[in-house]
């Protein structure tokens, strides 16, 4: 369970809620208490239409929070960034995972940094950029195309010295995808887990869920739980969520049912 900690003024769900170190640290502690296994910290919004920021501003927002969380919360820290310079400083401050929505395409130095540091890396699929990704995204076969892209990026990562064991894949729900694309990726999520890498799903509070349940961002918890239940049934490894406690409960129930389904009762015909 990866708990989301946005230290941004403009993220789609909780922008501005945790912009001070004290607010961010308090939320990280809360997520730890609710059962988070990883804290994912991001200082640049990637919502549709978001404006990019430079590395100096991202570092200004990010590093004090990473240092505070690393000192006070005994959980692995993931850094949501596409910039190698930001990732390097974060790793030196205690981060263990680089969560790169560009799958290491934005910064030519990112792969060498990940290989050198030994950090885990999340490679995500995105059609376009945050500024353009929701302007008429199109696929012939979204599941096949996302799978092919993620395999290509994983192979490119290994060709640059990154070990297979460092790689995590993310289909990028909501990143250059219409509602039908997101739903198809969930329906066929097992095709992603069959690729042989750990797979992360970031469906929490996304717009496609809001469209289905007709609820604003802060009231999509139940809809998110439904999507997460499907992902768990189809073998997801990491869930990136805003509401840790309720999603932890969802996973616990679905996982328990799944374990029983794998041990069918033997019925005698005698």
Q: Which active-site residues does the annotation give? A: 206, 240
- Count the alpha carbons within 13 Å of 240 in the hemisphere toward its beta carbon: 25
30 token code pair: 């809360």
Write out the DSSP string of 234-258: TT--EEEES-HHHHHHHHHHHHHHH
Asked whether 13 and 205 are in contact (CB, 8 A), the reply is: yes
- Count the alpha carbons within 13 Å of 130 in the hemisphere toward its beta carbon: 20
In the chain, the largest separation of any two C-alpha atoms, in whole Å, equals 75
Mode of pairing for the β-strands spanning 200-201 and 77-80: unpaired
Place of tokens 């289905």: 212
Strand order in the sheet with 200-201: 167-170, 120-124, 97-100, 77-80, 38-42, 2-6, 238-241, 200-201
What is residue 199's DSSP assignment? B
159 token code pair: 């060709």
- The continuous run of DSSP H or E covering 43 comes out as none
């Amino acid at each position: 369970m990866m708990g989301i900690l946005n230290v941004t003024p403009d993220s789609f769900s909780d922008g501005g809620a945790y912009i001070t170190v004290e607010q961010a640290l308090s939320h990280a502690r809360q997520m730890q208490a609710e059962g988070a296994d990883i804290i994912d910290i991001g200082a640049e919004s990637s919502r549709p239409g978001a404006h990019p920021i430079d590395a100096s501003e991202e570092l200004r927002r990010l590093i004090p929070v990473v240092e505070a969380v690393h000192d006070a919360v005994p959980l692995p820290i993931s850094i949501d960034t596409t910039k190698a310079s930001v990732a390097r400083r974060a790793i030196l401050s205690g981060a263990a995972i680089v969560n790169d929505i560009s799958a290491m395409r934005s910064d030519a130095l990112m792969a060498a940094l990940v290989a050198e540091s030994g950090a885990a890396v999340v490679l995500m699929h995105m059609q376009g950029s945050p500024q353009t990704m929701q302007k008429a995204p199109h696929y012939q076969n979204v599941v096949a195309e996302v799978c092919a892209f993620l395999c290509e990026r994983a192979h490119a990562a290994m060709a640059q010295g990154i070990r297979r064991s460092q790689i995590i894949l993310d289909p990028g729900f909501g990143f250059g995808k219409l509602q039908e694309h997101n739903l198809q990726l969930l329906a066929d999520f097992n095709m992603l887990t069959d690729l042989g890498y750990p797979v992360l799903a970031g469906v929490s509070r996304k717009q496609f869920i809001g469209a289905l349940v007709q609820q604003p961002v802060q009231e999509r918890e139940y809809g998110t739980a439904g999507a997460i239940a499907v992902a768990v049934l189809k073998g997801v490894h990491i869930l990136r969520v805003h509401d840790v406690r309720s999603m932890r409960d969802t996973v616990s129930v679905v996982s328990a049912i799944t374990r029983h389904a794998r041990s069918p009762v033997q019925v005698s015909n005698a």
